[in-house]
Structure 1
């Protein structure tokens, strides 16, 4: 039976022609696998399958995914995250989920102690756009304090300005989804949220935000992200939204931030290159 395996040029360049040919022939590919994106079972004889190479500073891990979930590609991952992911592959999947627990990460250009980003995963309903009326996977990003530019005075908040310079648009109405931001993406690996990636100088991507530990997401969130192939990211300056105990209260806080001109957003492809 032929193997429905795709090895992209960038994966081939990393693993070499001989290994790529063995994969295509099925010699080194498993018959069945758990998709590294949606975690559902896959069969290389029945399902078009993509090879996904996660590359750290010293470690590389080849994984398999449904081609409908993620294309064959090379994804840079922090070494400690990659080692943690490898260690967790054979561990039972945790079902607990804390949707409002912030995931701290250093804000780019700042000392780690200056500010951290709180990231909340949730579902949002938009009344317009190609997925109108359907639950959409969303990230809400809010720093714990002011985010300044290098050299700026302490306490000055340039978070909104910095996001605008990166291409994020102001969201006047949460019912209307923001535009797609090309070059940016949301990295899901092994069913968990790892990072928000941005274009790097000279090509490729780098992490704009990266979880200290991969974040569990709900099945509904992961299903919406996989089905639509994208995630809606919202961001607001410190104190604009706050940590809300329920998604309905989070939506009210987002609506309020939008009305005050403090909410920015963009649609980011899922696991984009």
Structure 2
């Protein structure tokens, strides 16, 4: 039976016209599926459905999502992330506990990112939480390294984390009740209901990973629903030791306000990349 599939030009270019035609005719496209964005059931025979192609270095995986959640598109990911997505699709990760916040070592940053010097390897921590801004609970990422961040190639003991981010378009936060400004080219990759990476503009025109989870991070249902609804995420960043691991979102908000008052908090609004 024909499917109500949206196949973007980018996806069509990757899979070819013949494969796109087979999908639209119902060959190889499931009738029912779990939306790769909101993780709720969908039916490509009854509702518009987006084809989402995750492309790694050696592997590509085609997934499906409600067209109302995200448009059809190609999502570049690392091969490691893609293998994790495959395990998620096949159910190998089923039953893993969800957590509203997580902290993992950062992948090696791109040259333009605030990379730690060899002598001072720092870990970038990501905490996911909901922040009340302009009357709405908004999904936020709070980034804080566990030590000073040096400019690439520098051996200076000075912490350049915030100056590097300001140079890349992040703005100082003066008032937590106001939305930060957008930072074009930056985005957050939420795929298979998990946070995979923060992407920055690449030198070749394609986005590259500024921060990348070694393992995709689970987020709370409330955070994911808010991100899917808004299609944007707020990213706040502060130097090491400023925010800390707060057990509750109200305490995280209080720490963010204190950082803003001290002039050591930058932020930006960024869209969701992929799902």
Shorter-chain TM-score tier:
over 0.9
Moved over 3 A (4+): 109-113
CA distance in 1, matches of 2:69, 2:265: 29
TM-superposed deviation, 1:69: 1.5
Taking a change above 3 Å as real, the CA distance of residues 269 and 60 of structure 1, as seen in their structure-2 partners, is same
Where does residue 55 of structure 2 map in the other structure?
A: 55
TM-superposed deviation, 1:177: 1.1
Q: Deviations over 1:70-95 (max 9, x none)?
A: 21111111112211221232242434
Matched, 1:9 2:16: no
Asked if the contact 1:106–1:115 (Cα under 8 Å) also holds between the matched residues in 2, the reply is no
Q: 2:200 aligns with which of 198, 201, 208?
A: 198
Where does residue 121 of structure 2 map in the other structure?
A: 114
Q: Deviations over 1:27-83 (max 9, x none)?
A: 221101101111011111222111111111111100011122121111111112211
Matched, 1:169 2:176: no
**SS of the residue 1:270 aligns to:** strand
Normalised TM-score (structure 2): 0.92
CA distance in 2, matches of 1:3, 1:151: 53
Where does residue 249 of structure 1 map in the other structure?
A: 251
**SS of the residue 1:13 aligns to:** helix
Gaps of 5+ in 1: none
Normalised TM-score (structure 1): 0.92
Where does residue 36 of structure 1 map in the other structure?
A: 36
Q: 1:270 aligns with which of 245, 260, 272?
A: 272
CA distance in 1, matches of 2:257, 2:11: 43
Where does residue 106 of structure 2 map in the other structure?
A: 105
CA distance in 1, matches of 2:158, 2:107: 17
Structural RMSD (CA): 1.7
Gaps of 5+ in 2: none
Q: 2:132 aligns with which of 111, 125, 133?
A: 125
Q: Which of 107-116 and 259-268 deviates more?
A: 107-116
